[in-house]
Structure 1
Amino acid sequence: MSYQVLARKWRPRSFREMVGQTHVLKALINALDNQRLHHAYLFTGTRGVGKTTIARIIAKCVNCETGITSTPCGTCSVCREIDEGRFVDLIEIDAASRTKVEDTRELLDNVQYAPSRGRFKVYLIDEVHMLSSHSFNALLKTLEEPPPYVKFILATTDPQKLPATILSRCLQFSLKNMTPERVVEHLSHVLGAENVPFEDDALWLLGRAADGSMRDAMSLTDQAIAFGEGKVLAADVRAMLGSLDHGQVYGVLQALLEGDARALLEAVRQLAEQGPDWNGVLAEMLNVLHRVAIAQALPEAVDNGQGDRDRVLALAGSLPAEDVQFYYQMGLIGRRDLPLAPDLRGGFEMVLLRMLAFRPADSADAPRQLLKTPGINQATVDSTRTVAAVAPVAAPLPVAAPAPSVTPVVAPAPVVAAPAVEAVDLPWNEPAAPTPVAEPVPVPQPAPAPILEVVAEQPEPAPIAMPTPASPVPDAPQQPVSAPADEASYSPAGMERDDEPPLDDDYYDVDIDSANYGYLDELASETVAEPVVEQAPEPASQPATGLALQWLELFPKLPISGMTGSIAANCSLIAVEGDHWLLHLDPAHSALFNATQQRRLNEALNQCLGRTLTLSIELIRPEQETPAQAASRKRADRQREAEESIHADPFIQQMMKQFGAIIRDDTIEPVDALASQSE
Structure 2
Amino acid sequence: MSHQVLARKWRPARFEDLVGQPHVVRALSNALSGDRLHHAYLFSGTRGVGKTTLARILARCLNCETGVTPTPCGECRSCVEIAEGRHLDLIEVDAASRTRVDDTRELLDNVSYAPTTGRFKVYLIDEVHMLSEKSFNALLKTLEEPPDHVKFLLATTDPQKLPVTVLSRCLQFNLKPMPPAMIAEHLARVLAAEGVEAEPGALLRLGEAAEGSMRDALSLTDQAIAYGGERLSEADACDMLGLLPRTRLAGLLDAVFAGDGPGLLQGLAELDALGPDWSRLLDELAALVHQVAVRQVAGGEPEAGEEAEAWAHAVAGRVDPETVQLAYQILVHGVRDLPYAPDARMGVEMTLLRLLAFRPEPPPAAGETARPAPVKTDAARGPGSAPAAPRPQAPASANPAPPAAPARAPKTSPSAGPEPDPVADPAPAAAAPTAVREPGAEPPAAVEHAPAPAAAPLAPGAAFDWNRFALGLPAGTVRELAKHAELLQHDAERVVLALAQGTPCTDRAKTRLKEALEQALGHSLRLEIVDRSGPSDTTPAAQLAAASARRQAGAEASMREDPVVQALGQEFGAELGAVRIREDRAGDTVDGDAPLPARQQDAD
Q: Same fold (TM over 0.5)?
A: yes
- Measure the CA separation in 2 of the matches of 1:456 and 1:102: 79
Aligned equivalent of 1:110: 110
Q: How many angstroms does 1:357 deviate by?
A: 1.8
Of 549, 562, 582, 1:491 maps to: 582
Structure-2 residue corresponding to 1:48: 48
Tell me: CA distance 1:498–1:98, structure 2 relative to 1, closer, same or farther (3 Å).
Answer: farther
2:294 and 2:209 map into 1 onto residues whose CA distance is 22
Q: Out of 415-424 and 276-285, give the one that drifted further.
A: 415-424
Q: Which amino acid aligns with 1:296?
A: Q
Contact 1:42 1:153 in 2 (8 A): yes
CA distance in 2, matches of 1:343, 1:237: 27
2:420 — aligned with what? 413
1:358 deviates by 2.4
Alignment of 1:256-655 (within 5 A): 256-300=256-300, 306-362=306-362, 389=378, 413-414=420-421, 416=424, 428-429=443-444, 452=550, 454=552, 462-463=560-561, 490-492=581-583
What is the CA distance between 1:452 and its match in structure 2?
4.2
Q: 1:313 to 1:135 in 2, by over 3 A?
A: same
Shift of 1:490: 3.5
Determine the C-alpha separation between the residues in 2 that align with 1:254 and 1:46.
37
Shift of 1:302: 6.1
* Aligned mates of 1:178, 1:202 — CA distance in 2: 17
Whether contact under 8 Å (1:46, 1:157) holds in the other structure is yes
Q: CA separation of 1:79/1:353 partners in 2, compared to 1, >3 Å: closer, same or farther?
A: same
Distance 2:14 2:559 in 1: 81
What is the distance in 2 between the residues matched to 1:13 and 1:200? 27
Taking structure 2 as the reference length, what is the TM-score of the superposition? Answer: 0.66
TM-score of the aligned structures, taking structure 1 as reference length? 0.59
- Tell me the C-alpha RMSD between the 2 structures: 4.2
Q: Which residue pairs with 1:229 in the alignment?
A: 229
Q: Kindly tell me: are residues 306 and 172 of structure 1, through their superposed partners in 2, closer, same or farther at Cα, counting changes over 3 Å? A: same
Q: Which moved more, 1:148-157 or 1:14-23?
A: 14-23
Higher relative contact order (CA 8 A, sep 6+): 2
Quick check: 1:394–1:412 contact (8 Å CA) kept in 2? no
- Partner of 1:222: helix, strand, or coil? helix
Quickly say closer, same or farther: Cα 1:428–1:293, change in 2 above 3 A: same
Structure 2 counterpart of 1:109, one-letter code: D
Cα distance in 2 for residues equivalent to 1:310 and 1:140 = 57
Distance 1:252 1:455, change over 3 A: same
Q: CA deviation at 1:487?
A: 8.2
Q: Is the 8 A contact 2:123 2:150 kept in 1?
A: yes
Structure 2 portions without partners, runs of 5+:
385-399, 410-417, 448-545, 564-575, 594-604
Rounded Cα–Cα distance in structure 2 between residues aligned with 1:488 and 1:176: 55
Residues 1:429 and 1:155: Cα distance change in structure 2 (over 3 Å): closer
State the one-letter code of the partner of 1:204: L
Letter in 2 for 1:348: V
List per-residue Cα deviations over 1:474-528 (Å, max 9, x = no partner). Answer: xxxxxxxxxxx988683248776999999xxxxxxxxxxxxxxxxxxxxxxxxxx
Q: Deviations over 1:218-248 (max 9, x none)?
A: 1111111111111122221111111112122
1:48 touches 1:214 (CA, 8 Å); kept in 2?
Answer: yes
**Superposed CA offset, 1:75-102 (max 9, x none):** 1111111111100110000000000101
Q: Distance in 2 between matches of 1:499 and 1:189?
A: 73
* Contact kept? 1:100, 1:131, Cα under 8 Å: yes
Preserved contact between residue 391 and residue 416 of structure 1 (Cα < 8 Å): no
| Residues in 2 aligned to 1:499 and 1:310: alpha-carbon distance in whole angstroms | 59
AA partner of residue 54 (structure 1)? L
Q: Distance in 2 between matches of 1:314 and 1:450?
A: 51
Task: Report the AA paired with residue 322 of structure 2.
Answer: E
Q: For 1:69, give the aligned amino acid.
A: T
Moved more, 151-160 or 294-303: 294-303
Tell me the distance in 1 between the aligned counterparts of 2:170 and 2:23.
17
Corresponding residue for residue 36 of structure 2: 36
Structure with max Cα Rg? 1
Q: In 1, Cα distance between the equivalents of 2:16 and 2:303?
A: 28
Q: Which amino acid aligns with 1:53?
A: T
Q: 1:422 to 1:460 in 2, by over 3 A?
A: closer
CA distances 1:292-321 after superposition (whole Å, capped 9, x unpaired): 111111112866784222211221122221
CA distance in 1, matches of 2:297, 2:430: 40
Distance 1:501 1:15, change over 3 A: farther
User: Aligned residues, how many?
Assistant: 444
Is 1:132 the counterpart of 2:139? The answer is no
Structure 1: distance between partners of 2:159 and 2:445: 79
Maintained 8 Å contact 1:21/1:176: yes
Distance in structure 1 (CA, Å) of the matches to 2:128 and 2:50: 16
> Is the contact made by 2:183 and 2:207 (CA closer than 8 Å) also made in structure 1?
yes
Change (3 A) 1:109 1:189: same
Paired with 2:56 and 2:591, the residues of 1 have a C-alpha distance of 64
Q: Which residue of structure 1 lines up, in the alignment, with residue 122 of structure 2?
A: 122
Amino acid corresponding to residue 490 of structure 1 in structure 2: I
> 1:392–1:493: 8 Å Cα contact kept in structure 2?
no
CA drift of 1:46 comes to 0.8
Task: Give the corresponding residue for 1:175.
Answer: 175
After superposition, give the CA deviation of every residue in 1:247-270 in whole Å (9 maximum; x if it has no partner): 221221122122222122111111
SS of residue paired to 2:581: coil
Over residues 88-134 of structure 1, what are the superposed CA-to-partner deviations in whole Å (9 max), with x where a residue is unaligned? Answer: 11000000000010100000111111111111100000000000111
Cα distance change, pair 85–494 in 1 and its aligned pair in 2 (3 A): same
SS of equivalent residue, structure 2 residue 582? coil
The 1:242–1:424 alpha-carbon spacing in structure 2 relative to 1, beyond 3 Å, is: farther
**1:192–1:389 CA distance, 2 compared to 1 (3 A):** same
The answer to whether the 8 A contact 2:383-2:587 is kept is: no
Secondary structure at the aligned position of 1:491 is classed as strand
Change in CA separation of 1:492 and 1:450 when aligned onto 2, cut-off 3 Å: closer
Verify the 8 A CA contact 2:584 2:590 in the aligned structure 1: no
What secondary structure, in the 3-state scheme, does the structure 2 residue paired with 1:4 have? Answer: coil
SS in 2 for 1:300: coil
